[in-house]
Every structure is written in structure tokens, then in C-alpha cells.
Amino acid sequence: MKIMLLKSFLLVGAIMCFGLAKAQTVSGNVSDDNGPLLGASVVVKGTANGTTADFDGNFTIQAGSGDTLVFSYVGYTAQEVAVGNQTTINVVMVANNELDEVIVTGYGGQKEKEITSAVVSVGEEEFNQGQVNDPSQLLQGKVAGLQIYNKGGNPNAGAQIRLRGLSTVGANASPLVVIDGVIGASLSNVDPNDIANISVLKDASAAAIYGSRGSSGVILVTTKSGVAGETKISYNVQYSSAERLNTIDVMSADEFRAAGGRDLGATTSWLDEVTRTAATKIHNVSMSGGNGSTSYRVSANYRDVEGILVNNGFTQMNARLNFSTRTLNDKLKIEFSSSFTDRNQQNGFSEALRYATLYNPTAPVLAENAPYAFNGDQFGGYFETLGLFDSFNPVSIANQNINDGKKVEYNYSANFTYSLTDDIDVHFNAANQLSKYGNRLYYRGTSLWNGGAASPSRKGSATLYNDEYTFRLYEAYATWNKSFGNSNLVLTGGYSYQKQNFNSHSVTVGDFPTGDFDYINAIELGQDLLNQGFVGANSDMAPDNEIEAYFLRANLTIGDNLFVNASVRREGSTKFGEGNKYGTFPAIGLGTDLNKYLNLEGVNQLKARLSYGVTGNVPAGNGLSQEVRGFGWAGGGTSGGNTFLVRAANPDLKWEEKSEINFGLDFNTDRLSASLDIYEQTSSDFILDRQVDATVYGFDRRFENAGQVTSKGVELAVNYDLVKGDGVNYNTGIVWSRNQTILDDYVSEQERFANLGAPGQNDTYAIRVKVGEEIGQIYAPVWDGTVTNGSQNFVDVNGDGVINTNQANMLNDDADFAVVGRGTPDFELGWTNQITFGEWSINAFFRGAFGHSLVNTFRVFYEPRVGSQKSYNYINTELANPEITNAQFSSLYVEKADFFKLDNLTVARNLNLNSSLIDRATLSLNVQNAFVLTKYTGSDPEPSLSDNGNVLAPGMDRRNNFYSARTFTVGLNINF
């Protein structure tokens, strides 16, 4: 890491040491209507010679009489002035019209006013503040219709991301990420501090240019780049402190004793034992600049993040270079970008949180405090309640075992743009990405949990795992830009080739000798190697996953106010059988500013948009259309073995398609801007691994095109300047979205999901889907509020006089089950408040989701006062009913999880240092998760969008979810 950083500095040094030309001195002032423009760039055209305007807008530069000065400033239209004989040049810059701002839309950009689909652009200044380790967190709550949830906030777990509800079932439901034009790039290889802007392509018409991979929406990330001129250095440092926010209520040791729990003599707060106040340090340094037609930006980012769970967190080093230059008389533009991430993560064991919740609160941590004779040496010195089901000392889990990962990611991309004529540009992009992940999982021989400490024969287990993902992208396309009178046509056409590969291998060895030694680094000592059949080994390489595509797009502007955008992409994938490899994905959009006809007073824009598009989705998995076999040894393995079928073939498997229609309105006045989008999308032929008739296909599973979902929704974004000017500004904005997904067609009329599991709740399903109805129904017997002999009494839902709550009958007409909640929210809300006065700024961001429910699984298992429970802790929420002594899943354990929270509060002050060295310094204080208003009794009321990967089963709050934290951050930003 040190070496990386030093290399970065050397590189910056080398770039900075370009020659400085000598010429006459020109000075002047750069300003706008309101006064001087601090930091405006002044460059001698075609050279590396440049400077920036100072605090008063003044500049001085050496330039020859034949030179031209280029004045530029972000948000303003650049101006060029020939020097001639002038020694003083004063320039008044004109702000860009916001509607002329270019939004990145894929294969280039478009002016905002020309866009006809649902595209939202979020700039750096709107990003979430504080400790943000994952770029997706920057956007949480900021874009209507974009759901980003990382339940509990494990720093090593990615967020679940959904755009506009559910658009697929069998394939990837997360949006496609495109970073600086590189399709499918890794979001984890970008440090949040390096991101300048994120565009979200919400509807199929916008995403169709990305064809097969655009069905779940597209997130376009633009990283920061340098501006030619004076070199700028920026340094950020952040210190955070996080602590446990919400957990689920359990009994204290005294309450537990009083409730008849088995007293083991001690008083232990298990959650305190396995959680901590987590300290995080983040440093970012960047340098940017360049001269003439060359610019660069390099950055280095260092993160040392602790989770609130002990032995959980990561350290990460990331470096990025963006470089751009023009040559061949400015006809050829070369952009190069590269980034490198090296991350060491302590995954830790989230199970420690689960067992800390449930472990007997009177049990001691250490064996030496055991209430009876106990051989602590066998268990690493920790106490264990032996002979119970699913009961493990959480401190032993967290401290004795190792679960460490190392991730290395590297990518580069090079873009070449050549201006063939004034009208035609030719582009060529090449990108390469390499991601490696290695994991060392070690269960110590003295750990009861997974370590085999109770068994004398096989203690300890070590698993070494490595995987590697490679991605290559080659694209070539051309744009033709032609004006006809006051109309304009831009044609873009090209070819894209993508190739991905994933391979992995792992080896598991156990049965280690005694001695306090981390055998994960010496698996050759495993006595498994002496025993038959114990060593686990696996290696796997996916087939190359290739995609090739041809695309054509036309952006037509007729008479300055009618905008027509159309595109078509034809795409083929290796994943499908012969004859079904290719799919065609068209899109069209129309837009016009109605205000040009209505001329409403004070209104700048009233644009109506209507668009339609089709996108596809490449399924996860490989060889889906083909027969797949496993292999089994004969007993003893001495005489060979045979293969056996594990999946039947389906040569007719075809592309899953999504079509979407979107209507939008954009309204702008000087102070108010609002956007409304209404859409309906239909995903058909989605690909599912489903049970089929074994008597026909030879095996009972294969992949089929098996269903259809329709999603409808409304999204509203409103922004208003409540106070503007006089040194005080107050801007407030709301994004609001509602989405409803209906299952139109499925492999069966109804299906049940989300088996609750052991102990005692196998074959108990909490979620139902039914054709013709909304997805995510939590389906359960309805408790009538009374208890008889320890068992809940249920409502006769269908009124047939018989109460039938048998789980196996759940889907039958005679069953007394009802939809007792929905896993998906009715609507979601984000509310931004940005106040600036003088050198101060305050940003308060509230976020909420309403109408969803969660199955509180902790309560289902451990709240009933069952006999066997008395050696575990009782879950003891305000909803607990001590009369219930028989565990049965019902409406009692399904809770409304509406919440409203102060998600992010930042107070920042600009420090006026008046230093010649430091341009600007800002000190900020931030709180994340400041407070949460909810009635939910579990630890985190955020919606759960899928259950163990099953997107048809939202609403499950499982026992292994992480606990949420409140984080305080102090940050200092210095710009030199």
C-alpha cells in the first residue's frame, strides 16, 4: 500500500514537471453577475500553460500576442479571447442554462431538455455524507424508485439494489453498473470520494441501449477528472465512531431467572461482549490539473473500517488515475482511466450476534466461572452449555475463529475518439477488469461451533477459497451529428463485445493437532489427510460468458422543441441454445416543452415525455439449456464411480424480455423544479429453475421460461428554494415513489416460499405468491388474541366452521390462512434539506418507507415460553405473550415495519483560513442513523427485498441479519 501511494505521488510529480513557457504577462479579472469567480481556469489554448483566478477573481499569466486564452469554470460557458496587444483582459462569464446541461445517457450524453425517457442525474453536492464505504450508499433515498437497502449495515455486505420494483425473478434483479462507459464494471473498485456524478436510467427506453443487461435499470457512474490549468490538491480525512443502535429485546439475567430459566450463576450481557464502539478512519488525497489539451486526476483512498461486531471490518487501499489528452491537431482524444483496490476484510461471524441474542444470560463467558465442573481447555477456555440444540457461546464464536477475506481489483479502460469530419466522430473503447477474492475460513479445534471441540476425533477445520473474475470489453461506435435548418439529427451506431469469466477453487482440511496455532496457514498438518473421505476440494471455472451486440440510435430534434429518440440493439449471448441466442431490443421516446406553446408566466419549462422500450435479461448460471450431471464414487471410492443427472435439458430456452412504457412531466420555475413519472413494465418469459415431471424429463428439475410480472409505479421528485440569496439559502426536496408488482403468470397458480427452518419450524412457509396478485404476501394463520393451554387460537378465515391451520394445507381453499402483511413498501420517501448561511451549511436528510411488514423470525422461534427455551434467552418484546408456550407461526409474528428516520445529518463550516496555500477548508460533523421512528420490535425496520436470494419472497427478517449502528463522523476537507 505504501508503495502504491508513493507511486501515485511520483506519477503526479512527473506530470506536473511539464515545461512552463515564457512570454509576456497578461493579467485581468474573471467574474459573473454576482462578482468575482474564485478558481476560474485560465489556459493558453493548445499549451500546458494555465492558472486559476484568485479570491478576488484576479489572474496573471504569461502569454504571447498570437495566443488565445480559454476561460472556463464549472457550470459556465467557456470563453476564448485572443490576446493580441492586450495586457489586461477582464471576462464576465455566463452561467450555463441548466437545461443545456449534458447528462450522461450511455454512449455519450444528451442535453437535459432533449431527454425523452426517465433519467435522473445526481451530482456530488447531492450525495449522502458521512461514512460512506459503498458507492451505492451515496444515492440511498435520493432517486425516486431506486431502492437501496443494506439491512443492519454489515460493512462487508453489499446493499440490495432494486430499480422500480421487481423486473425479473430468475436473473439479476440489480441494476447494471456502467463506470465511465465501462459496462458491468465493479462498483467496489470505485471509492465514493472519486465519484463526480451518477445518472440512473430508470425506464426501458433509456436502458434499451444496453440491451440484455439493462432490464433492471442502469446506473451510470462518472468519476472525477482533472481540468487543465493550475494543479489542485484536495485532502479529506474522516474519523467515525459507530455504536449499536437497535437490537431485539431479550430478558436480562434477573428477568430470565424470574421467568424460570435455568440459572447458571452468572450475569452476562452477551451483546456487549460481542459488539463494540467501532472506530473508522478514512483518508483521501487527490491531485488534478494539466495543461492545454491534457488533463489528469490521481487519487489515493485509504479506509480502515470497523464494524460494531468484534473482528468485523476491513482496510482498503484504492488508487485511481484518470488521464485525458488530445493530439493530431486535436482530432484524436485519448482518455485513459485505471483503478486499483486492495482490500483486507475481516468478515467475522454475524452468527455471534444471533447467539448473543439467544444465549442464556446467566451463563458465564469463561469456563473458569462455570457453575459446575467443566473442562474449559477443550473449549478454548470458554464456557459452553453442552447438549442443547443450536446453542453456542457467542464470544467463543467471535474470538476463536477466523473468517478473513482479501479482495484485489484492478481495471483499466482506454477510450479513443477521432473526429473524422466536423460531423462524424469515431470511438473505440477497450476495458479490462480483474477481480480476485480469497477467503480463509478457520474453525479452531477448541470451538464448539463448527470446530468440533466436542468430538475427540476431528477437531478444527480450515477452508481456503479463491476466485477470480475477469471481464473484457471492446466497443467501437461512430456518431454523426448534422443540422438541417433549425433541426438536428445525431446518429450513433456501433458494436459491443463483452467477455466474462469466473473461476474458483477451494480446499477444506480438518482434524488438526493440539497446540494454539492457526492451522489455516498450515493445512498440511490436518489429520484428515490420513483419513478417507474427509478432505474437501473443489475447483470450478465458468464457461466464458460472451455477449456481442450491434446498436443504432437516432436523436432527432425538430424545430428546437420536438425531441425524438429511438434506438435498437441486437444482442447475442452464449447462455442460450442454438436458435435462441439473439434478441432484439428496440426503444422510442418523444418529448416536447409544452410551455413553448402555453407560455405560462414564470415557468421555464413544462416538458412532457412519452417513451417505450424493450430490454432483456441474461440469466445467472451457466449452461441453462443443457443437461448437467454430477458424479458419485462407489462406496470406498476404490472402484470408480458414475455420473448422474442433476438437471434436465431445455433446448427451447429463450431470452427473458421486459417492455416498459413511461410517461413523464418536468416542470421548472426559477425556484421550483418537479418531475413526475408514471410507468408500467412487463417482464415475460422469466427464467426459473423449476420442478418438472421426472417421469418425462428423466430428472425433476430444469430451467424454463416460466412466468410474467407486471410492475406499475409513480415517482415524484420536487425541489424548492425556500430561501434564496442574502447569504442564506434553504433548499428542500422530496422524492416519493410507489411501486406495485403483480405476478401475471407463473409455473403454478400459487407457491409458498421462505421456509422458517430449525428448530421446529421446517416445512413452515411464510410467503405466498399467487397468480394475478401482488408479490410478497406474508401468509399465515390469523391469531385471534386468545390462548388456550399455551396454544394460540386462530380465526376461521374462510368461515366454514372448521379451523384448519395445517401448514401443508396452506394453499388449499379450506385452509384458514390470510395475507397478514406485505414485504414490499406502499411508498418510499426521501426528504432533503440543505441550508447554507455564510460559511455554514446544514444538510438534513430524512428517509422512510411505509406500508411494508416483516416476519420477525427471532420472535417466532424464541418468544413462546416453550419448555426447551429455558436454557436459551427469551425474546421479550412488548408484543410477547407469556401465556403462549407452543411455537407456531402466525400473524402475531408479522409486524408493520413503517419507519421514518433522520438518516443523515451534516453540519459543515467553511474555515476561512485566508491562506495563500489553502484555497478552501471545510470541517464537517455528521450523524448517520441519528434516530429511527418505528413500531417494529426487531433491530432494523428496513424492507427485506429478498430471502436467501429469492426475490419472490420479500419481507423476511432472518436471525442472521446484522444489527444496525449509529455513526458519528468528523471530517476535514482541504483544497490546495
Partner 1 sequence: MKTFNKILLGIGLVSLTYSCTDLEEDLVGDLTTDFTVDGVTNQSFSGSAFTVSDGLTSAFGALRGTGTAGHGGYFSVQSVSSDEMAVTQKGGDWYDGGIWLDIHRHTQTAANGPIKDTWNGGYNAIAQVNNSIENGNLDANLTAQAKVLRAYLHWRLLDLYGRIRYVDENGASAQLSRSAGFARIEGEILSALGVASVSAAMDLSGSALTKGDVKYRINQFAALGILAKLYLNAEVYTGTARWQEAHDAADYIISNGSYRLSDSSVSVPNPSKRPAVSSDAESLTGYAAVFSPANYDNPEIIWSVEYDEATAGGMNFHQMSLHYASQFTYLFQDQPWNGYSALEEFYNSYEDGDARKDANFIIGAQTDFGGSVVVDLASDTQDPAITYSASINELEPNAGRTDGARLGKFSFKNFARPDLDNDYPIVRLGDVYLMRAEAKARVAGDWSMAAADVNTVRARAGVSALGSITADSFLAERGREMFMESSRRSDLIRFGKWNSTWWEKTNSDAYRIVMPIPADAIQNSNGALTQNQGY
**Contacts with partner 1 in 203-242 (CB under 8 A)?**
231, 233, 235, 237
Residue nearer to partner 1 on the CB measure, 84 or 632 = 632
Closest approach of partner 1 to the CB of residue 284, in Å: 9
Binds partner 1 by CB under 8 A, chosen from 507, 797, 811, 902: 811
Asked if 917 interacts with partner 1 (CB under 8 A), we say yes
Least Cα distance to 149 among 742, 765, 825 occurs for 825
Residue nearer to partner 1 on the CB measure, 74 or 530 = 530
Residue nearer to partner 1 on the CB measure, 234 or 339 = 234
Residue appearing with cell numbers 477528472: 225
Residue appearing with cell numbers 481456503: 464
Q: Could you give the CA distance from residue 237 to residue 520 in angstroms, rounded to a whole number?
A: 35
Q: Please, are residues 50 and 42 in contact by the beta-carbon 8 Å criterion? A: yes
Interacting residues of 313 by C-beta distance below 8 A, sequence separation 6+:
155, 156, 278, 280, 304, 305, 306, 307, 345, 346, 348
Which is it for the CA torsion 666, 667, 668, 674, positive or negative? Answer: negative
User: Which parts of 757-776 interact with partner 1 (CB under 8 A)?
Assistant: 758-765
Asked if 915 interacts with partner 1 (CB under 8 A), we say no
Which window, 177-185, 407-415, 514-522, 564-572, contacts partner 1 (CB under 8 A)?
514-522
Which window, 490-498, 614-622, 685-693, 724-732, contacts partner 1 (CB under 8 A)?
685-693
Q: Please, are residues 752 and 767 in contact by the beta-carbon 8 Å criterion? A: yes
User: Which parts of 572-611 interact with partner 1 (CB under 8 A)?
Assistant: none
Binds partner 1 by CB under 8 A, chosen from 82, 92, 808, 913: 808
Binds partner 1 by CB under 8 A, chosen from 416, 497, 582, 976: 976
Asked if 518 interacts with partner 1 (CB under 8 A), we say yes
Closest approach of partner 1 to the CB of residue 872, in Å: 8
Q: Could you give the CA distance from residue 287 to residue 12 in angstroms, rounded to a whole number?
A: 7
Q: Indicate the helix (H) or strand (E) that contains 903.
A: strand 899-911
Closest approach of partner 1 to the CB of residue 356, in Å: 18
User: Which parts of 86-145 interact with partner 1 (CB under 8 A)?
Assistant: none
Residue nearer to partner 1 on the CB measure, 34 or 532 = 532
Which window, 84-92, 109-117, 161-169, 868-876, contacts partner 1 (CB under 8 A)?
868-876
Asked if 387 interacts with partner 1 (CB under 8 A), we say yes
Q: Could you give the CA distance from residue 635 to residue 532 in angstroms, rounded to a whole number?
A: 11
Residue nearer to partner 1 on the CB measure, 10 or 102 = 10
Least Cα distance to 38 among 289, 293, 195, 230 occurs for 230
Closest approach of partner 1 to the CB of residue 739, in Å: 30
Binds partner 1 by CB under 8 A, chosen from 243, 368, 544, 693: 693
Residue nearer to partner 1 on the CB measure, 107 or 862 = 862
Residue nearer to partner 1 on the CB measure, 180 or 230 = 230
Asked if 893 interacts with partner 1 (CB under 8 A), we say no
Which window, 245-253, 379-387, 713-721, 735-743, contacts partner 1 (CB under 8 A)?
379-387
Residue nearer to partner 1 on the CB measure, 485 or 533 = 533
Q: Per DSSP, what are the bridge partners of residue 778?
A: 767, 821
Q: Could you give the CA distance from residue 509 to residue 403 in angstroms, rounded to a whole number?
A: 15
In angstroms, the first-to-last Cα distance of the chain is 24
Q: Nine-digit cell at 111?
A: 442535453
Q: Could you give the CA distance from residue 361 to residue 363 in angstroms, rounded to a whole number?
A: 6
User: Which parts of 54-83 interact with partner 1 (CB under 8 A)?
Assistant: none
Closest approach of partner 1 to the CB of residue 935, in Å: 26
Residue 135, preceding peptide bond in cis (omega within 30° of 0):
no
Query: Contacts with partner 1: how many residues (CB under 8 A)?
Result: 104
Asked if 375 interacts with partner 1 (CB under 8 A), we say no
User: Which parts of 169-198 interact with partner 1 (CB under 8 A)?
Assistant: none
User: Which parts of 625-654 interact with partner 1 (CB under 8 A)?
Assistant: 632-645
Kind of pairing between the strands at 965-975 and 229-244: antiparallel
Binds partner 1 by CB under 8 A, chosen from 117, 291, 739, 869: 869
Residue nearer to partner 1 on the CB measure, 678 or 911 = 911
Q: Nine-digit cell at 824?
A: 414490499
Which window, 182-190, 579-587, 756-764, 947-955, contacts partner 1 (CB under 8 A)?
756-764
Asked if 14 interacts with partner 1 (CB under 8 A), we say no
Closest approach of partner 1 to the CB of residue 643, in Å: 7
DSSP tag of 782: P
Closest approach of partner 1 to the CB of residue 458, in Å: 5
Closest approach of partner 1 to the CB of residue 776, in Å: 21
User: Which parts of 442-471 interact with partner 1 (CB under 8 A)?
Assistant: 452, 454-458
Residue nearer to partner 1 on the CB measure, 539 or 748 = 748
User: Which parts of 252-311 interact with partner 1 (CB under 8 A)?
Assistant: 262, 264, 281, 283, 285, 300, 302, 304
User: Which parts of 308-337 interact with partner 1 (CB under 8 A)?
Assistant: 315, 317
Binds partner 1 by CB under 8 A, chosen from 97, 531, 539, 912: 531
Tell me phi and psi for residue 365, to 5 degrees. -75, -45
Q: Could you give the CA distance from residue 510 to residue 930 in angstroms, rounded to a whole number?
A: 45
Binds partner 1 by CB under 8 A, chosen from 12, 81, 118, 945: 12
Which window, 195-203, 500-508, 778-786, 805-813, contacts partner 1 (CB under 8 A)?
805-813
Exposure string over 568-590, b if 16+ CB within 10 A, otherwise e: bbebbbbbbbeebebbebbbbbb
Question: What would you measure as the largest C-alpha separation in the chain, in angstroms?
Answer: 101
The three-state secondary structure class of 778 is strand
What letter represents residue 251's amino acid? Answer: M
Q: Please, are residues 968 and 772 in contact by the beta-carbon 8 Å criterion? A: no
Closest approach of partner 1 to the CB of residue 972, in Å: 11
Q: Per DSSP, what are the bridge partners of residue 834?
A: 731, 843
Binds partner 1 by CB under 8 A, chosen from 73, 699, 703, 779: 699
Q: Indicate the helix (H) or strand (E) that contains 206.
A: helix 204-207
Asked if 719 interacts with partner 1 (CB under 8 A), we say no
User: Which parts of 404-443 interact with partner 1 (CB under 8 A)?
Assistant: none
Asked if 515 interacts with partner 1 (CB under 8 A), we say yes
Residue nearer to partner 1 on the CB measure, 392 or 899 = 392
Q: Per DSSP, what are the bridge partners of residue 324?
A: 295, 335
Kind of pairing between the strands at 41-44 and 50-52: antiparallel
Tell which phi-psi region holds residue 726, choosing left (phi > 0), alpha (psi between -120 and 50) or beta.
left
DSSP tag of 946: -
CA atoms within 13 A on the CB side of 155: 30
Binds partner 1 by CB under 8 A, chosen from 502, 517, 720, 827: 517
Asked if 748 interacts with partner 1 (CB under 8 A), we say yes
Closest approach of partner 1 to the CB of residue 18, in Å: 11
Least Cα distance to 853 among 817, 826, 823, 828 occurs for 823
Closest approach of partner 1 to the CB of residue 191, in Å: 14
User: Which parts of 778-797 interact with partner 1 (CB under 8 A)?
Assistant: 790-791
The three-state secondary structure class of 210 is helix
Asked if 887 interacts with partner 1 (CB under 8 A), we say yes
Asked if 799 interacts with partner 1 (CB under 8 A), we say no
Q: Please, are residues 666 and 114 in contact by the beta-carbon 8 Å criterion? A: no
Q: Please, are residues 44 and 53 in contact by the beta-carbon 8 Å criterion? A: no
Interacting residues of 17 by C-beta distance below 8 A, sequence separation 6+:
none
Q: Please, are residues 702 and 648 in contact by the beta-carbon 8 Å criterion? A: yes
Which window, 6-14, 51-59, 605-613, 849-857, contacts partner 1 (CB under 8 A)?
6-14
